[in-house]
Amino acid sequence: MNTVWLSSNLSWIAELTFAHLWLTVVPTALGLVLALPLGWWAHQVPRLYGFIVGSSGLFYTVPSLAFFVLLPGIIGTRILDPLNVVIALTVYTIALMVRVVADGLASIPPETVQAAEAMGYRAFQRFVLVQLPVAVPVILGGLRVAVVSNISIVTMAAIIGVQQLGSLFTQGYSLGLMTPIVTGIVLCLAIAVVLDLLILWASRALTPWRPKEVAA
């Protein structure tokens, strides 16, 4: 490890880490929020399941670097605008989560839903107060996959020049220096572990009725 490089770049590294966190968390949260109604819709209308899940999944086919480059042409942003990254990752998260939400809702025992209906819950109340909480472990399980892969996808944006931890990789490559690259990889993995644990913790906190071991 080149400690001279490390100590003289500490504040830049901190900046990049913060940018990376922001570029990961915002699209993941946005994607989850947008996937909830879509997944609900796909679950509610079985005829549309294939169409909704299939067509949103198609976006996952588009390689991330291509997505980052194509978005400015479609929505008129600048190529360096971090907004491109946020939008692309939001779309990826939706693509992944719509199916998870629909399948999570489908995994709820029908008696639970019927009981809510019999107690007079309207469709929206039933969704928010009964179906969603019961499906939390499945949905957040999917979100763990989404957030971890998003962290990796964000680094690709370094190629077109959007600053985040991936910039350490391109920097290291052009300097022929291993230290920035290893630092970037370690920080990416650290963020992945922290966010993964946070979601796991949230999943447990949101479902206090579940036995402790099962949540893992």
Q: Which residues bind other proteins (CB under 8 A)?
A: 57-58, 60-70, 72-73, 79, 92, 96, 99-100, 103, 138, 141-142, 145-146, 148-149, 151-153, 155-156, 158-161, 165-166, 168-170, 172-173, 176, 178, 181-182, 184-185, 188-189, 192-193
Pairwise CA distance, residues 212 & 166, whole Å: 37
**Residue whose CB is less far from other proteins, 116 or 143:** 143
45-68 burial string, b = 16+ CB within 10 Å, else e? eeeebeebbeebeeeeeeebeebb
**Backbone phi, psi, residue 163, to 5°:** -75, 125
- Nearest Cα residue to 24 out of 156, 205, 186: 156
Nearer to other proteins, 12 or 141 (CB): 141
> Nearest approach, Cβ of 170 to other proteins (angstroms)?
7
Closer of 116 and 148 to other proteins (Cβ):
148
Q: Quick one: 116 or 154, whose CB is closer to other proteins?
A: 154
Q: How far is CA 46 from the centre of its chain?
A: 25
As measured in angstroms, the least distance from the Cβ of 120 to other proteins is: 31
Q: Least Å distance between CB 91 and other proteins?
A: 12
Sign of CA dihedral 208, 210, 213, 216: negative
What is the 8-class DSSP label of residue 159? G
- Provide, rounded to whole angstroms, the least separation between the CB of residue 114 and other proteins: 21
Residue among 57 and 121 whose Cβ is closer to other proteins: 57
Q: Distances in Å between the alpha carbon of 12 and those of 8, 95, 171, 177?
A: 9, 33, 12, 16
Residue 36 C-beta: closest distance to other proteins, Å: 16
